[in-house]
Amino acid sequence: MEKELNQKFLTKIKKVAQGPDADLLYDMVDLLYARQGEYDEEPLSNEDWAAIREGREAIARGEFVTLEELKKDLGS
């Protein structure tokens, strides 16, 4: 389903891009963009969206590690 790209949507994107979840937004856009150029023309499934929501909720609860923390834990 194709949705109209309007100013309200663009304003929301801009706010997220300037907030604490900016890295997540950029990563998601990169992923979706790469996906378009590959084999998959299917939109994200309901399960995909549920996983994204769960991940965002976990981040909001502080349930994450930084890349630096992961590297330290792995001894890199």
In terms of Cα–Cα distance, which of 16, 41, 12 is closest to 26? 16
Let me know whether 31 and 50 are in one domain: no
Confirm whether 3 is domain-assigned.
Answer: no
Buried-exposed string 52-72: b where 16+ CB fall within 10 A, e elsewhere: eeeeeeeeeeeeeeeeeeeee
**Residue where the block lists tokens 């990169």:** 30
Q: What is the tens place of the pLDDT at every residue in 45-54?
A: 899 999 999 9
Let me know whether 73 and 50 are in one domain: yes
How many CB atoms lie under 10 A from the CB of residue 21?
A: 16
* Residue 29, domain extent: 10-39
pLDDT at 39: 61
pLDDT at 1: 39
Structure confidence at residue 2 as a pLDDT band (50, 70, 90): low
Residue type, 24: L
Checking if the pLDDT of 41 tops 70, the result is no
Let me know whether 34 and 63 are in one domain: no
